[in-house]
Amino acid sequence: MTKGNRRKFRIPFQCLAFEKEVRTYTEILRQLRLDERSMLERINVPEVYYSHAEDGIIVMENLKMSGFSVLDKTKGAMEHAMTHSAVNVLLNSRHPGLDLPACRKVLRQLALFHAYTFHFIEKFGTDAFKEHHPEFIHDRWWPPSETGDYVDVMYSEMYQVMASITEEFSDDADLSRRVAAIGEAEFLRRIHAVTPPSEEGFNCLIHGDAWVNNFLFRQQSELTHHLLLPIITVCCTIRTIYSADGDIRILDFQLVRRARPTVDLAYFLASSLIPETRRRHLDNLLSDYYRTLADSLNSLGYDAGELYPYTSLKTDFKECYIFGIVSGLMHAQVKV
């Protein structure tokens, strides 16, 4: 990589983002594939043919040739705007959100990744893993770089955006008051309280950037003409997804780190679903996720109910959801 490119990507290099991605593909996921006989199901990631962490290079299969693509996040925005409140429109103008089948596929893949990487660390030994893979051990979403802790700057900006939106556009006066009462300093404190690993709870490797753009889906073209109806245009793109296994691929492992799995859940569910879907189906989605996590852990010889009860997951999720609020704001194209 040229010096000019290194300057351009200096923060990812300083934060070991490229090294983490290369090691995730070439060491952790590769080892998991060797152990997949004891696993419930394979994690769906692209094949990697060449990588070089120092230069930030990864050569992988062209998933587009197999029919995979990023979901079209622009379709449905107008229809969504016509039927939802101003706050929800502002926070979801960038993409209308995944439908339930697509969301369940993502959560299943996250559950597999969380269960298998927990097992990977257990086999490695937690202390040995920390020593051998220090790039995955840090308490922040992005560790501070030589250029400063710009993530805290972003968190502060997200709080200011949230406070402005709720004050000006929310129909819920109590919500606006509660947001203002938290204050910027307390908002940052709560975020930093949930991003580190749990001291005594369940930890694994998390994806760290689990939003809709980092999951590719394969479309079933023969159903397209039957499903592109005016009354369902909000979800028309997503409703062309295969129902068979293997129709989703996970990308972008630059922010992988050891933490509670509910950090990923909060990030994904806040950034990639429309509020109406989340309100209606949140409990069922968490239950679906936990079922896959528990089944995977049990297949590896653990007692999931003892190791990480569902009640603990729900408690962790509630605590981590403030991080989800940040992710939702970060991935929204806010236009006033």
Tens of pLDDT, residues 218-250: 875 443 333 333 333 333 333 333 333 458 999
Give the pLDDT mean for 1-29: 67
For tokens 């369902």, what's the residue?
A: 232
Angle between the 261-271 and 275-299 helix axes, to the nearest 10 degrees?
A: 150
DSSP H/E element including 234 = none
pLDDT of residue 8: 43
CA atoms of 161 and 153, how far apart (whole Å):
12
Average pLDDT, the chain: 78
Identify the pLDDT of residue 87: 44
- Average pLDDT of 177-203? 89
* Residue with the larger pLDDT of the pair 237 and 252: 252
Q: Given this model, what pLDDT does residue 233 score?
A: 31
pLDDT at 57: 85
Whether the predicted pLDDT of 29 surpasses 60: yes
Strands annotated E in the chain: 48-52, 57-60, 68-69, 204-206, 215-218, 248-250, 257-259
- 280-324 per-position pLDDT tens digit: 999 999 999 999 999 999 999 999 999 999 999 999 999 999 888
What would the pLDDT profile of 128-173 be if each residue is shown by its tens digit?
A: 999 998 888 877 666 555 545 667 788 888 888 888 888 888 888 8
pLDDT of 93 strictly over 50: no
State what percent of residues in the chain have pLDDT above 90: 37
pLDDT tens-digit map of 65-84? 888 988 755 443 333 333 34
Exposed, middle or buried by CB within 10 Å (0-12, 13-18, 19+), for 39? Answer: middle
Q: What is the pLDDT of residue 37?
A: 67
What is the tens place of the pLDDT at every residue in 107-123?
999 999 999 999 999 99
Q: Does 214 have pLDDT greater than 70?
A: yes
Q: For residues 16-22, give the mean pLDDT.
A: 86
| E strand residue ranges, 9-107 | 48-52, 57-60, 68-69
The pTM (predicted TM-score) of the whole model is 0.81
- Check whether 95 has a pLDDT greater than 60: no
Give the residue-averaged pLDDT of 43-58. 86
Contact assessment for residue 273 and residue 103, using Cβ atoms and an 8 Å cutoff: yes
- pLDDT of 108 reads 96
Q: Which pLDDT score, from 0 to 100, does residue 90 have? A: 41
Structure tokens at 228: 């592109």
User: What pLDDT does residue 324 have?
Assistant: 87
pLDDT of residue 74: 45
- Rounded CA-CA distance 207/252 in Å is 8
Range 199-217 average pLDDT? 93
Distant-in-sequence, close-in-space partners of 198: CB < 8 Å, separation ≥ 6: 260, 316
